Structure 1
Amino acid sequence: MSSSPGIEPRAHVDLVYISIESAIALASVVGNVLVVLVVCVNRTLRNSTFSFIVSLAVADIAVGLLVIPLAIVLTLGLPTHFYTCLFFSCLVLVITQSSILSLLAIAIDRYLRVKIPTRYAVIVTQGRVYVAVCLCWILSFLSGLVPMMGWNNLDVHGNLSSSSEIVCTFTGVISMNYMVYFNFFGWVVVPLTVMIALYLEIFRVIQLRLNRRAEATCDGDRYYRKELKLAKSLALVVFLFAVCWLPIHIVNCISFFCPKCWTPQFATNVGIFMSHVNSALNPMVYAFRIKHFRLTLIQITQRCMLCKPSAAASCSTSTPALQDKGTVSL
């Protein structure tokens, strides 16, 4: 009887944790599936920027379908083999890393769009965009699977046999050296710094172009104002990315650089929640601020959810065509 008071609160915490994570997973999957569906339906959205946004959406769908369920398993501490637990942990790293690299690719794409508008269509071809998307995923797998190559906590557990089981936790198999120096400093801080620098340069170039009113044509002025609106949306995404991802990495740094410092489990759980919430926020920030996406989403909702026939057979005929394939209207 004396153990019951300790077991019930733990079961309650696990239930609350699983419920919150499940809600985040559902929102992430539904929102990002809509992003992919809208881009597939509306041909006017099939440009370089949306190719990277679809890549980001696929990564965020994987967060809802794989990362969050795996995070729940890792948090519950179920008994399993070391390399099975390590592989699950690496999958979490691969998928989250692909999301970061997709955000970086979007920033580079918009930078080129503003910096070299006359040569953009020649340099950023659809074939090169597909290569860039594949490169993002290849780099994600290479960086995320590094612990499988030996940079892990196997030595901490001593001599484990192939049949030995451990309590599967993320920090139990993933080295904090890897998480802090390689993953955080190398694959979060560096991309985030590059993204901030790119968007600052984008704002500087756009403002410079808009200030040259005497030299600018009406079309040019309208072009840069559209780019400015989109750049603000993308900068908001970078800000939310930093807000959502830095807490869990800060917790990791505190645990690594100050082993004697006590970090409550609540802080760790909040950091994990926020990193997962980022995948659910991306569709709202990227997609719902774009006019063509909203119009197509309304059509899909009316046709599929409200059982109303579509007014047109194709979204490309019901929504105004973009004057420039690379321009995204807001």
Structure 2
Amino acid sequence: MEDGGELCFPLHMNTSCRRPSSSWPEGVLVHVLLYSVSVLTVALNLLVIISISHFRQLHSPTNILLLSLAVSDLLVGLLLMPGEVLRKWSCWFLGDLLCSLYNYVSFIVTSTSVGDMVLISVDRYVAVCDPLRYGSRVTEGRVKVCVCACWLFSVFYSSLLVKDELLRPDRFNSCLGECLIVIGYVAGVVDLVVTFVVPITVILVLYTRVFVVAVAQARAMRCHVTAVTLQLHVSVSSRRSELKAARTLGVLVLVFLSCFCPYYGVALAGEQLLNSSSGFFVLFLFYFNSCLNPLVYALFYPWFRKAATLILNLQILQPGSCQAHVL
């Protein structure tokens, strides 16, 4: 048991953990900040889910992937962020079994989110690099199968990581009111490769190829039109397209790396550091990516702003609103 602070369960003096010690202003500030991020994550992803589900014009293969990503990110804000605050900044009152299930769900949701981002990168790669066959190769049916396979793989993969904890929920907790995330070194390395190294490699390779092709197409269009007329106008327009593509690519990769790299660095250092205060913040940063995903993947699209306006104005309650033009 840790020194300082009140017991989590006063009636169990011998087995109760002690509450995390912190000053009253600090504790209030931390809880308000973290729960605000959780609410914002839920709200942003809920807007994406309602937009894509309600408006028929948005029913496309790409948006199905965005919908799956938004669902996983919604679960992060709804379940994982509050659970992490309860786990680290308070006492875990939900029991050992729910602690194990919480850890299990956290692996499922986060690995699914990573898988969705890989699928999105594949979708955009085919759309840019093979546009003529995109419609025949990427259909709604195939995308739905891929999304279901991603979720099923995450469930199976996560069960392998936490199977020992699920069979014996109390094996890692030393006292009542504690909920630890314990990953062995070998399992941590495997998880690093499966959910970080491989996805990052795929995303970087595909988006680099997309960027190169997009720049080449912009330059080809500029040269073609220059031979006719409007040389200055097309040159400026193409240049802006190149800069926009580079900026979007940089934001996507930078946000992903910034949120994921610290967590995996701490995870490899061992479970003791992962369950420390620094481990809490890198894990919350890991989850914070779910708050940024709607901004990175959806707010860049004009249709999202139009759909969000209709939703917030409650115009989706009107008859026939699903047929509204948002593109």
Shared fold, TM over 0.5? yes
Output one character per residue of 1:22-58: Cα deviation in whole Å (capped at 9) or x when no partner. 1111011110010011112332221111100000000
Q: Is the contact made by 1:233 and 1:286 (CA closer than 8 Å) also made in structure 2?
A: no
Q: Is the contact made by 1:70 and 1:92 (CA closer than 8 Å) also made in structure 2?
A: no
Distance 1:57 1:168 in 2: 30
Distance 2:108 2:281 in 1: 21
- Cα gap change, 1:112 to 1:8, in 2 (>3 Å): closer
Q: State the one-letter code of the partner of 1:33.
A: L
- Cα gap change, 1:59 to 1:189, in 2 (>3 Å): same
1:275, distance to aligned residue in structure 2 (A): 1.5
Q: Is the contact made by 1:28 and 1:280 (CA closer than 8 Å) also made in structure 2?
A: yes
- Cα gap change, 1:200 to 1:249, in 2 (>3 Å): same
Q: 1:169 aligns with which of 179, 204, 210?
A: 179
1:1-330 map, 5 Å = 9-10=21-22, 12=24, 15-75=28-88, 76=90, 78=92, 82-150=96-164, 157=171, 168-171=178-181, 173-178=182-187, 180-213=188-221, 229=244, 232-233=247-248, 235-255=250-270, 265-303=276-314, 313-314=320-321, 316-320=323-327
Output one character per residue of 1:113-136: Cα deviation in whole Å (capped at 9) or x when no partner. 111111111111111010011011
Distance 2:245 2:111 in 1: 24
Range that drifts further, 57-66 or 239-248: 239-248
Q: State the one-letter code of the partner of 1:248.
A: Y
Distance 1:84 1:297 in 2: 35
Q: Is the contact made by 1:248 and 1:275 (CA closer than 8 Å) also made in structure 2?
A: yes
- Cα gap change, 1:292 to 1:105, in 2 (>3 Å): same
- Cα gap change, 1:81 to 1:295, in 2 (>3 Å): closer
SS of 2:270's partner is helix
Output one character per residue of 1:56-112: Cα deviation in whole Å (capped at 9) or x when no partner. 000011111111232234324537765543222111111111111111110000001
1:254, distance to aligned residue in structure 2 (A): 2.6
Q: State the one-letter code of the partner of 1:111.
A: Y
Q: Is the contact made by 1:234 and 1:286 (CA closer than 8 Å) also made in structure 2?
A: no
Q: State the one-letter code of the partner of 1:177.
A: V
SS of 2:154's partner is helix
Output one character per residue of 1:271-296: Cα deviation in whole Å (capped at 9) or x when no partner. 12211221111112221211112122
Distance 1:29 1:45 in 2: 21
Gap runs ≥5 in structure 2: 7-17, 229-233
Q: Is the contact made by 1:202 and 1:231 (CA closer than 8 Å) also made in structure 2?
A: no
Q: Is the contact made by 1:93 and 1:144 (CA closer than 8 Å) also made in structure 2?
A: yes
- Cα gap change, 1:284 to 1:88, in 2 (>3 Å): same
Q: State the one-letter code of the partner of 1:113.
A: A
Q: Is the contact made by 2:211 and 2:245 (CA closer than 8 Å) also made in structure 1?
A: no
Q: Is the contact made by 1:102 and 1:136 (CA closer than 8 Å) also made in structure 2?
A: yes
Distance 1:132 1:227 in 2: 31
Q: Is the contact made by 1:85 and 1:169 (CA closer than 8 Å) also made in structure 2?
A: yes
1:299, distance to aligned residue in structure 2 (A): 2.2
Instruction: Give the CA RMSD over aligned residues.
Output: 3.9
Range that drifts further, 40-49 or 77-86: 77-86
Q: State the one-letter code of the partner of 1:45.
A: L
- Cα gap change, 1:251 to 1:16, in 2 (>3 Å): farther
Number of the residue aligned with 1:325: none
Distance 2:49 2:75 in 1: 13
Q: State the one-letter code of the partner of 1:282.
A: N
Distance 1:267 1:113 in 2: 41
Distance 1:29 1:21 in 2: 13
- Cα gap change, 1:318 to 1:183, in 2 (>3 Å): same
Output one character per residue of 1:211-243: Cα deviation in whole Å (capped at 9) or x when no partner. 22356899xx999x9898578536523321211
- Cα gap change, 1:141 to 1:226, in 2 (>3 Å): farther
- Cα gap change, 1:319 to 1:53, in 2 (>3 Å): closer
